[in-house]
A = this chain, B = another copy of it.
Amino acid sequence: MKKGHDIDLSPYQVRTDLALESHLMAVEQQGNIISGVEVDEQQLEGIHITKLYISTDEGARTLNKRKGNYLTFEAPGLKNHDSALQDEMTNVFAKEFKQYLQQLQIADNAKVLVIGLGNWNVTPDAVGPMVVENLLITRHLFELMPDQVEEGFRPVSALAPGVLGITGIETSEIVQGVVERSCPDLVIAIDALASRSLERVNSTIQVADTGIAPGSGIGNKRKALDKETLGVPVIAIGVPTVVDAVSITSDTIDYILKYMGNQMDIRNPFGKPSKNPKHREKFLGLIGTLEEREKRQLIHEVLAPLGHNLIVTPKEVDTFIEDMANIIASGLNMALHHAVNDGNIESYTH
């Protein structure tokens, strides 16, 4: 995973890069209305789309995410390696991403630089570089033989800059240097993310116009890839590929509670499984009485001495990563070049 993640494992922080999950946690604690956050959901066949808009600083603080537009696609069925669903996800992603660009008033001929973040030697971190390998690259054609480029394409360039341990140079420094020299109008940065839920790993895509800010909670501005540092808009596309053992355990304890509540049909007045502390204590003892944050802190303290390698990924990681990278690469090829569509995408994507 991203270097920042490894180092900055903050004990009290629930580990998620998905605004969607931050929102779910906030709702769990504060109820459905979160000030400064608007949510719009849509269910297509097999794909759940969530549009989440964090409009105020208060909303950003509550969710611990930057202000901006978050667009999330969830398709749990992707884990079954279902090629029809993959095609549908590709088309839906392409169509929605095109609209997203229009909504951000990115021109149709805006020059795009795609940055594939992450370490190609670490499979769960390789989704960014893998997308880059499959993109339709055209910038050099516009530069070298502008007369011969057909209608329906725009200048697209791409780079997988590697990670700090491989290059010795901050990713942001490399990207800044390349942006200055190659002058794109828009940067799209692809990265692997951490989710707090095994369910969402490798079946979810998040798009955000916030840029990417590793260690954002800490305020290390130097490392961010965003409009401020790069001078052009930065859209982040992320795929959760890992989850930490703390999250798995904590969620499972919650599931147990719900499950036992259901089994014994103990419900609150709204018909939902009881959150009554008495019930929680009955089933889970002292642990049941802990706040979410306290519980995770406890689990973290318990697991930490066992070693730091507690970030895990499903064992089918190779296929999952390849499938997700194909969806994003094909989707971007369609969204960025009008000449590329569902019918001819095979010829353009490797």
Q: A199-B307, A309-B314, A309-B316 are in contact. Are A167 and B159 (CB under 8 A)?
A: yes
- A156–B301 Cα distance when bound, in Å, is 37
Chain B CB within 8 A of A83 CB: yes
Say whether B303 contacts A255, CB under 8 Å. yes
Q: A256-B298, A285-B281 are in contact. Are A122 and B315 (CB under 8 A)?
A: yes
Say whether A137 contacts B166, CB under 8 Å. yes
Contact of A181 among B83, B173, B306 (CB under 8 A): B173
Query: Number of copies of this chain in the oligomer?
Result: 4
| Contact digits for A234-267, partner B, Cβ 8 Å, 1 yes 0 no | 0000000110010011001101100110000000
For A132, A252, A346, the residue with the greatest tally of chain B CB atoms inside 10 Å of its CB is: A252
- A319–B121 Cα distance when bound, in Å, is 8
Interface residues of A in 78-136 (CB under 8 A from B): 79, 83-84, 121-125, 132-133
Chain B CB within 8 A of A228 CB: no
CB-based nearest B residue for A344: B83
Chain B residues in 8 Å Cβ range of A32: none
Chain B CB within 8 A of A214 CB: no
Chain B CB within 8 A of A41 CB: no
Q: A255-B303, A285-B285 are in contact. Are A313 and B309 (CB under 8 A)?
A: no
- A242–B316 Cα distance when bound, in Å, is 11
Say whether A317 contacts B314, CB under 8 Å. no
Chain B residues in 8 Å Cβ range of A63: none
Say whether A245 contacts B315, CB under 8 Å. no
Chain B residues in 8 Å Cβ range of A311: 314-315
Chain B CB within 8 A of A208 CB: no
Given contacts A137-B167, A174-B177, 19 further A-B contacts (CB under 8 A): A124-B317, A137-B168, A141-B168, A158-B167, A173-B181, A174-B178, A174-B182, A177-B182, A198-B307, A198-B312, A245-B252, A249-B249, A252-B302, A255-B303, A255-B306, A260-B286, A280-B285, A283-B286, A283-B287
- 30 contacting pairs across A/B (C-beta < 8 A): A84-B347, A122-B316, A124-B315, A124-B317, A125-B315, A137-B165, A139-B168, A140-B165, A140-B170, A155-B168, A158-B167, A159-B174, A173-B182, A177-B177, A177-B179, A198-B307, A245-B248, A248-B312, A249-B249, A249-B253, A252-B299, A255-B306, A256-B298, A259-B301, A259-B302, A282-B286, A283-B285, A284-B285, A309-B316, A312-B313
